[in-house]
Chains A and B, each alone.
Chain A
């Protein structure tokens, strides 16, 4: 994979792709996150509504993001988040972190974690907790990339 090669790992702002990877128009939360991430100094890209999982992964690669932040409020997270992970695996993308959120029942969280999706924040989570988690995952990813491309 070419992505990440040209990034100055430690200095450049964290780059996040926000996406709702299914048929789900509830976008109030994702706009709040976009603003909050930007105010926290991150580069934010929003994938727009109804992106296919392929579009999400392609955008993440082309834009060279550190983190994909997925959000769904329609109950389809298990299927739809997995579709994104499957395509990442198919394309051999393993140096982008995937973080989840939305209306996610506790019992679904282990399955998501197992796919490598962390966070899985529910309603009412303070923005600071989400931002800190994104930063932590981005740091991990950059370290991974640094080791790989050294």
Chain B
């Protein structure tokens, strides 16, 4: 295995030629000019710490371009996964939304649909993300604050009230309790007489990056991985248009990683899930086509575009060469992008509209399949209706006014872009090799290695900002002394009280004997690792067992997880 990565690294190194054109130009033109103008040379680096030259020339193009580029829709898909890309189908404008009660969120979703949003994306609150009901003591003060609260199927019914699940695709950002929320969505479709064959969407469910970055888990890794395996197998068989996982770099980046680290750790997680599917007895081409990805688009424009292109090339290459995939769909890396929350500043918030626009452009030029643009007020709070509308309009302006989506991969062939794509690819392969030496990604996470790598990058970046080596407009340069507060979305405690009351009523109304029976059956099934738990969880959900009741079955059997100390 190590040898495979080494082979890839050597191959990329070999494809780089001597850059005689640049060297000649530097000696004859640049150096004399710099001397004459008293220009002090300094090093330029991107977020990944890679040296950036002032000029790239034809010699920078790797010498196997014909093999590594591929036209759109052709292996290795560097230029895009579909032949006609955005002309055939624009990226899906999918705004991550959710706050307060299910009714509040239902209203926001309908507002976005009315304004031209083309896909739904649900944000859940902290208690939901950790598998606690709204009436748990730990949930006090958090219900509906960072997203919508879902304590049972009844809440899901309210979120999607009067929305046709066969008409629109839904993405759910849920990880630790992903199997439960997925079960709720499936049961909801059944109740609305929508066939599971006709619903489409994505559940994030990527638990490895939770241990790495977002830190939302309930059980030790092995337990969650079993649940992912069960979702993978169940969806592959019964819900053909369902992306059972969205392997996510977004949170890894937000936690402080560089672009290269985001790419490498995400794809390493992806390879782990491929291994898992194969181990569960499936053929790689059975389940790989429904795997999807989720990346961050941050502020270093060209680096981000190169990252997206490198991601597609690596995935296609490794799936074909290492995993023996035959179906091109298994090799196509399709991804959602969100602009970077970290780059939003609390200071001078309107500037964030510009940052988000640049980041969204990078995502489009990088060939994303769907996009969330952050709202300018999100360093303060969840966005207001007005702010979220500007964010959505940003995408619509890019799509319909600027012409950047008219031509596929317009930066393809650029000396700088192609060189950067290959160099980022090389750096990612180096990480894969490193991770394999540690016994794989799960071991690298359990030992804290990945987390430490990210914390180190994040701290270095912060020091750069503190020392003014890196500029953040409005924060360490061009500071306004008199910042005026902006209007923000307030979520009152009424949401929490309402949710808690609703849950109490539900518990009184439901058939608690049946609830206990389904939970008992789930408990028994969980003890046998060979059983697929999805039908059991769906049975619990149907009887309105709560999120926490179902989660607690796993807590009893698998216990809870304490993260390795990195300090």
Contacts and interface: CB of A to CB of B under 8 A. Distances in A.
A105 B126 contact: no
Given A28-B254, A128-B466, A79 B346 contact: no
Given A23-B127, A31-B567, A34-B567, A49 B215 contact: yes
A47 B139 CA distance: 19
A71 B553 CA distance: 31
B466 A31 contact: no
Interface residues of A, number: 33
B506 interface: no
A40 interface: no
Most buried by B among A32, A34, A48: A32
B103 to A, nearest CB: 19
Contacts of B215: 25, 27, 49
Given A74-B126, A123-B346, A48 B216 contact: no
A23 B458 contact: no
Interface string A83-112: 000000000000000000001011000000
Contact of B142 (A23, A32, A103, A128): A23
B462 A127 contact: yes
Nearest to A38: B567
A144 interface: no
Interface string B442-459: 000000000000010011
B459 A74 contact: no
A48 B140 CA distance: 20
Residue among A49, A52, A127 with the highest chain B CB neighbour number at 10 A: A49
Contacts of B475: 124
Interface in A35-91: 35-36, 38, 44, 46, 48-50, 52, 74-76, 78-80
B480 to A, nearest CB: 12
Given A23-B139, A28-B255, A80-B141, A124 B345 contact: yes
Interface in B121-165: 126-127, 129-130, 132, 138-142, 145-146
Nearest to B147: A74
A28 B213 CA distance: 9
A22 interface: yes
Contacts of B146: 74-75
B142 A76 contact: yes
A48 B459 CA distance: 18
A24 interface: yes
Contacts of B132: 23
Contacts of B491: 75
A35 B379 contact: no
Contacts of A75: 142, 145-146, 381, 491
A13 interface: no
A122 B344 CA distance: 13
B562 interface: yes
B462 A32 contact: yes
Contacts of B380: 103, 105
Given A31-B567, A123-B346, A124-B346, A103 B379 contact: yes
B403 interface: no
A52 B138 contact: yes
Given A31-B458, A34-B567, A49-B215, A123 B379 contact: yes
Contacts of B458: 28, 31-32
A123 B345 CA distance: 7
A36 to B, nearest CB: 8
A122 to B, nearest CB: 6
A31 B141 contact: no
A103 B145 CA distance: 12
Query: Which among B215, B380, B485, B563 has the greatest number of chain A C-beta atoms within 10 A?
Result: B215
B566 interface: yes
B256 A28 contact: yes
A80 B466 CA distance: 30
A122 B305 CA distance: 31
Contacts of B92: none
B448 to A, nearest CB: 12
B472 interface: yes
B140 A79 contact: yes
Nearest to B256: A28
A36 B460 CA distance: 11
Interface string B470-495: 00100110000000010010010000
Nearest to B137: A52
B472 to A, nearest CB: 7
A110 to B, nearest CB: 14
A31 B254 CA distance: 13
Nearest to B475: A124
Nearest to B99: A75
- For B140, B342, B488, the residue with the greatest tally of chain A CB atoms inside 10 Å of its CB is B140
Interface string A106-150: 100000000000000011101110000000000000000000000
Q: Which of B140, B141, B142, B455 has the most CB of A within 10 A?
A: B141
Given A35-B459, A75-B491, 14 more contacts: A22-B126, A22-B138, A23-B127, A24-B126, A31-B458, A31-B567, A35-B455, A48-B563, A75-B146, A75-B381, A79-B142, A105-B485, A105-B488, A122-B346
Interface of B: 126-127, 129-130, 132, 138-142, 145-146, 214-216, 254-256, 342, 345-347, 379-381, 455, 458-459, 462, 466, 472, 475-476, 485, 488, 491, 562-563, 565-567
Interface of A: 22-25, 27-28, 31-32, 34-36, 38, 44, 46, 48-50, 52, 74-76, 78-80, 103, 105-106, 122-124, 126-128
Nearest 6 interchain pairs by C-beta: A79-B141, A25-B215, A123-B346, A75-B145, A23-B126, A76-B141
25 contacts: A22-B142, A23-B129, A23-B130, A25-B215, A25-B216, A27-B215, A31-B256, A31-B458, A31-B459, A32-B256, A32-B459, A32-B462, A46-B565, A48-B562, A48-B563, A50-B130, A75-B142, A79-B141, A103-B346, A103-B380, A122-B346, A123-B346, A124-B345, A124-B472, A126-B466
